[in-house]
Amino acid sequence: MSQLLEVKVPDIGDFKDVPVIEVAVKAGDAVQAEDTLIVLESDKATMDVPAPTAGTVKEIRIKVGDKVAEGSLILLLLLWVALRRPDGRPLNALGDSLQQAARQDAERLERELRTEVQDSARGTRQELAGTMSLPAIPPVTLIGDQVAGVLAT
């Protein structure tokens, strides 16, 4: 799906017959919104004329040395039309699939990390239990009771 857009010289003030000093694109070039298409030079200023939207340059209608004014046709731009979901949001199959893959990777990494931390904690508890030989202390120890030969005070 694509559409052609006639790109014209925007409002450049009261200037008429402004010379084109540079054509920055050629037929077949891909442009993004705000990329420079042509450069104009009046007796007071040099002006870049930007692309109004993203697309592919289909046909250039001017050349260096031509004189233009507001509304002069610069080029035909083949627009990149975005597919839409039923709710009106843009459908970006590549972006959606990358986002889904990233989400799945993050969930997998989280599971692996959680398992690793749990295994590490379990191992640490077992190591501590194996190296320490503390006697079992009754839940309530009263003053005067002996625990492993030591008098509780």
Torsional class of 149: left (φ above 0), alpha (ψ -120 to 50), beta (otherwise): left
User: Is 119 inside any structural domain?
Assistant: no
Instruction: Spell out the SS3 assignment of 33-101.
Output: CCCEEEEEECCCCEEEEECCCCEEEEEECCCCCCEECCCCEEEEEEEECCEECCCCCEECHHHHHHHHH
- The answer to the question of residue 135 being in a domain is no
CATH classification at residue 66: 2.40.50.100
pLDDT of residue 109: 83
Residue at 30 is within a domain: yes
Burial 15-33 (b: 16+ CB within 10 A, else e): beebebeebebeeeeebee
In 3D space, the residue among 62, 87, 93, 66 whose CA is nearest the CA of residue 75 turns out to be: 62
Asked if residue 129 is part of any domain, the answer here is no
Instruction: Decide if 21 is inside a domain.
Output: yes
- How long, in residues, is the chain? 153
Given a cut of 80, whether residue 77 has pLDDT beyond it is yes
Identify whether 46 is part of a domain: yes
Range of the domain at 66: 2-80
Report how many domains make up the chain: 1
Burial classification of residue 55, based on how many CB atoms lie within 10 Å of its CB (0-12 exposed, 13-18 middle, 19 or more buried): buried
Q: What is the DSSP letter of 18?
A: E
pLDDT per residue over 7-51, tens digit each? 999 988 888 899 999 999 999 999 988 999 999 998 888 999 999
Q: Residue 27: what pLDDT?
A: 94
Does 142 map to a domain?
no
In a domain, residue 60? The reply is yes
